[in-house]
Structures are given as C-alpha cells and as structure tokens.
Structure 1
Amino acid sequence: MYCLCQKLKFVFLFDQTGDELLSDSFPYKEIENGMLWEVEGKWVVKGAMDFDIGANPSAEEGGEDEGVDDQAVKVVDIIDTFRLQEQPSFDKKQFVMFMKRYIKQLSPKLDSEKQELFKKHIESATKFLMSKLKDFQFFVGESMEGEEGSLVFAYYREGAADPTFLYLAYGLKEIKC
C-alpha cells in the first residue's frame, strides 16, 4: 500500500484485502461500543463546472445550456472517492452467515486486548446492523473481494437527502502518510 501523500499528513483506512475504504478527511463517530464507525456521505457534482465568464449568451445567440459540461454527474462522495462497489442485498440468513465468517476470519488477526473487546461487543453491533438490514445498500472495496474484505453499509436516515455509511471498525487497518 503506497501512499502518494509523503509530505502531507493523512490517515487512510484499509480493509483486510488492502482496499482503501475511508480516510480522515471524512470524520466518523464511533457507535455500538466502538464496533461501528458512522460517517456522513454527501451527494456532490463530479465533472466540469459551468463558469460564468461574463459573456451574454442571449446576445451571442447561445443556448441556455451552452458552457455546461454534459459529463457532470451527481455521485456520493464516499462511494466515488474510494471506488466502492455495490453488492446485492443480503437477507437475514445470508447476513448472519457473512458475519459469522467475518468474525471467524478477523478474530485471530486482532491482538488479545482488541480480541476481548471484539468478542464482547460484536454481537450487539450485529443485532444493530440486522435491525437496519432492509434499509442498507451494501458495498465492498474496489477489488470486490467480499469473502476476505469488509462490507460498508449505507442507508438514508428518515428524511435525509444524503446517505450515512457504517463501517466495521475492527476490520480496518490504519495507514498514516
């Protein structure tokens, strides 16, 4: 994992596959005893922007859309920045199977102190996630290695225009640049 920010101070978070899933430019809040990180996403416009250079399009017989890039699209900042790949939805049984496999694979990779906390709190975090299961969009990192990697969960809070993302915190590795 090579960071291009050698002179800048950034923190990037990777899953077990090495996929970059988050950075410190997106503040997070710990929930469920630190088992999950909650991050607010935002819809943004990606692509060239329309700049007003003082020309008068009507006097020059230009159309209303002249100067606007047709390639501009709305994207969710976190999905776009980290090239997250959407996965099919899980039903309850599939989700429980995923979590059992994830816990089994991750536990031996944690130091003993983290392992104890993980075992103590992962069940309540799993129940919390299951309570929102029908509302989630599921994402994995760019390599799409769902078996080894972590899931990122996105949902819209009631009345929210922008998505909220949930990360399984203990499955992330911090790399400082």
Structure 2
Amino acid sequence: MLVYTDKLSGDELLSDSFPYKEIENGILWEVEGKWVTLGAVDVDIGANPSAEGGEEEEGVDDQSVKVVDIVDTFRLQEQPAFDKKQFIGYMKKYIKLLTAKLEGEELEVFKKNIEGATKFLLGKLKDLQFFVGESMHDDCTVVFAYYKDGATNPTFLYFGHGLKEVKC
C-alpha cells in the first residue's frame, strides 16, 4: 500500500486506496470522496418480537454518523474559508516553502505550472472547503474540496508536488 504524506508537515493526506486523476499539468490531483455512514447499523433479521414473546423495540439509540471517507480516514481538519487576499498570501508562502523541497525536473514542472493551478483554484474559491492534516501545522499543504455541478459527493484537490509517496 502507498500512503502520500505532506512534504511540509509529514501528515498522511491520501493513499492509493483513493485513485486520483492529474489535472492542471499534473500540479493538482483530483480525488473523488464519498459520504459514508459509520457506527451502529440496524439489521433486519426477519424476526417478529411480538410473536416471540418480546415487546416491540422502542427506538434504538443509533450512534451512526455520516462522514466523508477521505476526511475521516486521514483525520483531515476543516479550516475557515480563505478570501482572495488570504488565498494569494497562502499560495505565495506555500510556493516558497515547497520549492525549497523540490529538485531538478520536479522543480521545473512545478514552477512552470503552479500559476495555472493557482488560477484554477482561484476561479473556484467561493465553492472550496479547506482542510489540513491532523497536526494542523502552520506550514502545511492545504487540501481543497468542492462539489462538482449536481454532485452529492465531494471532489478533493491535492497539490501532487506537495505529497511524498511512502510504501507501507
């Protein structure tokens, strides 16, 4: 299994259990999330409690909760939304921090294409949710989520160059 960690904070952000598609010349990875239900599940086994001398069950205290699989699996922490000024400030800082961690061709591809990816995200800014890894480190990769037109499940966007592949 492959796990992808944040090159800046070390937090686990993704794994190969969630296939991704590269967009914006490979700068962004697009991953489909799903709403899932965790917790108690009511299973109907076909028994009739009243016919078997039991009483009708009163409401079950169902401890189930709906979560987004990626958020739950990697313990992502939602952050307040960025306005345009905050987003541009974050991107300038992120680019500076990440370029220090990149080398060679990877660095050149990142420098060449990050502006286009930034514009892509800026165009969706009002629709984005913002998440960071479990440590909530100040200098980290932000994971973005949004709902495509009419979608009931969120789509997540990761900076591919900000992830380090770790074999488990």
RMSD, matched Cα:
1.3
Give the corresponding residue for 2:13.
21
**Unmatched segments (≥5 aa) in structure 2:** none
AA matched with 1:150: T
Report how far residue 52 of structure 1 moved.
2.5
CA distance in 2, matches of 1:159, 1:57: 42
CA distance in 1, matches of 2:28, 2:91: 13
CA distance in 1, matches of 2:141, 2:134: 11
Report how far residue 55 of structure 1 moved.
1.9
- Alpha-carbon deviations, 1:104-123, whole Å to 9, x = none? 00002111111111000000
Question: Relative to 1, partners in 2 of residues 1:91 and 1:70: Cα closer, same or farther, differing over 3 Å?
Answer: same
Aligned sequence identity (%): 69
Structure 1 counterpart of 2:103, from 111, 121, 126 = 111
CA distance in 1, matches of 2:154, 2:82: 19
AA matched with 1:117: V
CA distance in 2, matches of 1:26, 1:78: 8
TM-score by length of 2: 0.94
Give the corresponding residue for 2:56.
62
Report how far residue 64 of structure 1 moved.
6.4
**Unmatched segments (≥5 aa) in structure 1:** 1-9
- Aligned residue for 1:124, secondary structure, equals helix
Give the corresponding residue for 1:170.
161
AA matched with 1:169: G
- Aligned residue for 1:96, secondary structure, equals helix
* 1:130-149 alignment, distance < 5 Å: 130-145=122-137, 147-149=138-140
CA distance in 2, matches of 1:58, 1:134: 54
TM-score by length of 1: 0.89
- Aligned residue for 2:43, secondary structure, equals coil
AA matched with 2:18: F
